[in-house]
Amino acid sequence: MATKKPTKTPGKKKSHLIVGEHGRIYVTATFNNSLVSITNDNGDLISWSSAGNSGFKGTRKSTPYAASLAVENAAKKALSLGLKSVDVFIKGPGSGRDSSLRAIKGAGFSITSIADITPIPHNGPRAKKKRRV
């Protein structure tokens, strides 16, 4: 008979996360979804949310309203932990870029800086052939 290997016990979660008054918000706005991650200054994740996580499905995930709700959901937890001022990093070409900024300001954060970190190729690999419709 085959012997069973002992199952691994899941690792402990961090019992307490050090959250200062300053942090960072990373917004990734794709054509299909919007992702929001809130971290402290060290880069440790405080909270996150997405348009899909907020209850939207299909094409409604890519709307500006869904992006603003995703920011509000992530911001609630971060505000309760004591985060006050943030640096905002926005990535991607999606429609949730502007509305997520408005939602961050409306949630009660003071925005220290805004940076666009959308990756732009410096004429790297060969582009795909043009789409024919």
Q: Is residue 110 part of a domain?
A: yes
Q: Is residue 133 part of a domain?
A: no
Q: What are phi and psi for residue 68, nearest 5 degrees? A: -70, -35
CATH code for the domain in which residue 64 is found: 3.30.420.80
Q: Are the beta carbons of 69 and 36 closer than 8 angstroms?
A: no
pLDDT of amino acid 119: 93
| Tokens representing residue 76 in the block | 């609630």
pLDDT of amino acid 1: 59
| Residue 36 or residue 124, greater confidence | 36
Domain that includes residue 34, residue range = 22-116
| Residue 124 or residue 103, greater confidence | 103
Q: Is residue 1 part of a domain?
A: no
Residue 88 pLDDT > 80:
yes
Q: Is residue 26 part of a domain?
A: yes
Q: Is residue 47 part of a domain?
A: yes
The winner for highest mean pLDDT among 10-24, 44-58, 118-132 is 44-58
Structural domains in the chain (count)? 1
Nearest to 94 by CA among 121, 66, 116, 62: 62
